[in-house]
Amino acid sequence: MLRSCTAALRTLRALRGRREGASPAARDPVLARRWFSTEKVIPKDHALPNPSWSKDLRLLFDQFMKKCEDGSWERLPSYKNSKLVKEQLSQAQLFTRGYEDGLGFEYVIFYNDDEKRTVCLFQGGPYLQGVPGFLHGGAIATMIDATVGMCAAIPGGIVMTANLNINFKRPIPLCSVVVINSQLDKIEGRKLFLSCNVRSVDEKILYSEATGLSCSLRDLVPRPGIEPGPLLWERGVLTTGPPGKSLFVVFIFYFNGPQMHMFRLLRILDLGYTAIIGT
């Protein structure tokens, strides 16, 4: 744990030095060439080992990659953003991937289709501190939601978290590694019920337990009697969809007589899936 914290602090000192003086492109010729290059840029998969990963995280990663060899488990890739974000929302990026390596959320998620289960290997960096020396509760809640949400999204398609109940048993030391297990318990119509626990690497310490309810947005249509009127306002938001896909959510406000209604246009890129939901 101390070694991983030390590596993260070295990264932090390097970042502080970078903020002073010339622009990033002027300091980094490779970055400058990339900005003005016409070559296709391959997005970085952040669910792969980097120098900030501790020995425990690397060991667990290797163990699960071994399980992937027979096809029973699958590693899910993770990116900061996509081409669509760059075009529509230039400043947007995935919340959990907005930190330099080692300072925030370092994690990888694996999925087992037969067991309807996801496992997240997570290391929380120094920027996620709450009580001195321990991980902020909101940071672990974020990772629980991400793990549970992915467990629901693969069988349920487009989903949104409707309810998430977390019991925090023990605080998690900063820069340590935990294993987040999520299980799909049952499906009732569009409702997906899930459970989750957060344990130490050796599984001897239970840090948190959680239950979640996700709702699938498949095959939804506008409420009866609501017809879109003149377009008032539109905003796009990119979030995470099924593995390897991006979910683009467009919030559209219309006037309909004296009332204003909001419609959410949901589209999974590369799948051509579209649904309109009236509220």
DSSP run (H or E) holding 254: strand 246-256
Nearest to 96 by CA among 54, 150, 133: 150
- Cα 20 to the chain's mean position, in Å? 31
The torsion region of residue 272 among left (phi > 0), alpha (psi -120 to 50) and beta comes to: left
Cβ contacts of 4 within 8 Å, gap of 6 or more? 52, 53, 54, 102, 123, 175
Structure tokens at 251: 């919030």
How far is the C-alpha of 29 from the C-alpha of 105, rounded, in Å? 28
Structure tokens at 95: 């919340």
What is the residue type of 62? D
> Using an 8 Å Cβ cutoff, are 144 and 210 in contact?
yes
> Using an 8 Å Cβ cutoff, are 32 and 25 in contact?
yes
> Using an 8 Å Cβ cutoff, are 15 and 100 in contact?
yes
Q: Which of 45, 145, 185, 219 is catalytic?
A: 145
Q: Is 145 a catalytic residue?
A: yes
Provide the sign of the torsion angle of the four alpha carbons 176, 53, 139, 193, taken in this order. negative
Catalytic residue set: 145
